[in-house]
Amino acid sequence: MPEVFTSHVPLYAVAVSLVAVPFILGTSRWPNLREFWTIAASLVKFGCVLSLLPEVLANRVAHIELFPIAPGVSLALKADHLGVFFALIASGLWIFTSFYSIGYVRGLDEHKQTRYFASFAVCLSATIGIAFAANLLTFLIFYEILTIATYPLVIHKETPAAISAGRKYLLYTLSAGVLMLGAVAWTYQLAGSLDFIAGGLLDGVTAPQTTIATLFFLFLCGVGVKAAIMPLHSWLPTAMAAPTPVSALLHAVAVVKSGVFGVVRVVGFVFGPSVMMSIGLNDILMFFAGATIILASLLALREDNLKRRLAYSTIGHLSYIVLGVAMLSPASFAGGLMHIATHATMKITLFFCAGAIYVHAHKENVSDLDGIGRIMPWTMGAFTLGAVGLAGIPPINGFSSKWLLGVGAWESESIVSLIILLVSGLLNAAYLFPIVHRAFFRAPTNSGPPREASMLMVVPIVSTACVSVLFGLWPNLFFHFYDLSSSIAASILGSGGQ
């Protein structure tokens, strides 16, 4: 068992971007100063999260209880291994997204830029709150704050398509929140507690199998919407009406990653492997995840709009994580967790590239990208690295997580899961590699010298692509993602507790 100690650092990590919001709003007339607050908040937030890494590596967990919010339940933050793992990814990528956003909104001369940056800051506070939530009720509060804070970003363009996408987003996510609230209340009635416990809060609770199964489906709907598990996914491609940095937020940093993070919490810390396997809940989850992986990949093949193709790719890759968790073997669970990190760096690169193409060349469809690699070589070079990684080809970091998932499928004797992973890898190549071929091996429609988007966009694009390569070569580099994922898997599956 880890040593738990009281610390305000998790609270600071949550609050810092929230504190920046009034400064962002108050300096709306001075864009450079407004964006200084965004960058400063992102750096301080990442620094707070990073300071917790040595503690969890030493098996020490920071905890702070703020105030009671229900009988026997407090608003509490706990920076356990899983929370720090997720918070490092979210806060680290927010730095790149912040710089990129400046180049994007200035390149398009976007309206209501102050609202954009303020909403972004609130989203990151909610995301870190989700990461460090010590119990289900705290998790739910931040989960719903994230839903509301993201809405202004989804409708940012305020076109009819954007407003419609925002309504659909709220319909799905708020409905999921209601189901989640019911599941949380029912869990409290059954277990008398809402604290996250590695191995399962409900492990050892006496209840009919139908009760446990029904409760699981409530939770699955609650977290499955943001995790885009089919058939709960359709809000996500529609939300591509949002600006590209928002798409990057949705796909790599906050919203959908909070969904799969919620799946990990529900499976590993609420139900636990014993309860999941005793009544076959993991098999049900594997079915939905496997179907989502294949169907989303097939749908991506037919999409001409670049962002929508990437959206369906995200839907499939989120279910890689769900599948790994559902297989409940040490390697598969660690591989699922690793894929949270590896997919984040690769997919944010691809969305950054899509945004740069839109700002610089005003192209949105794959069929219009002939020769774009000759005009924007750095951007499309980074896109190529991301595409190779998503297909699971070394040395990009997608290979390491997919390898662990494959080993986990073999460990759990799930041949069907192994086949799904192999087939989906081919499908990933089928919907991404033609984009690369068009970019570099077809003549551009408008010839001219190479000319990239602004450096505020290109530098984050190249940086996240390089990060994907570095973590492909050294999965433990800097942040010990492999060690953390293995430790989390071990604690849940029976060799310790957090």
Residue 225 confidence (pLDDT): 93
Would you kindly state where each structural domain of the chain is located, as residue ranges?
280-493
Angular region, 5: left φ>0, alpha ψ -120 to 50, beta rest: beta
Q: Tell me: the pLDDT tens digits for 373-423?
A: 999 999 999 999 999 999 999 999 999 999 999 999 999 999 999 999 999
176: closest CA among 298, 258, 54?
Answer: 258
**Confidence tier at 250 by pLDDT (50, 70, 90):** low
**Residue where the block lists tokens 């849940």:** 492
Mean pLDDT of the chain: 92
Cβ atoms of residues 497 and 487 within 8 Å: no
Residue 251 confidence (pLDDT): 63
Dist CA 366 CA 312 (whole Å):
14
Residue 449 confidence (pLDDT): 65
Phi, psi of 475 (to 5 degrees): -60, -20
All residues at 6 or more sequence positions from 54 whose CB lies less than 8 Å from its CB, including other chains: none
Residue 227 confidence (pLDDT): 92
Cβ atoms of residues 330 and 273 within 8 Å: no
Q: Tell me: the pLDDT tens digits for 8-60?
A: 999 999 999 999 999 999 999 999 999 999 999 999 999 999 999 999 999 99
Q: Tell me: the pLDDT tens digits for 322-381?
A: 999 999 999 999 999 999 999 999 999 999 999 999 988 889 999 999 999 999 999 999
Task: Count CA atoms closer than 13 A to 484's CA, side-chain side.
Answer: 30
Cβ atoms of residues 432 and 354 within 8 Å: no
Angle at 325 between CA 323 and CA 330, to 5 degrees: 120
**Confidence tier at 481 by pLDDT (50, 70, 90):** very high
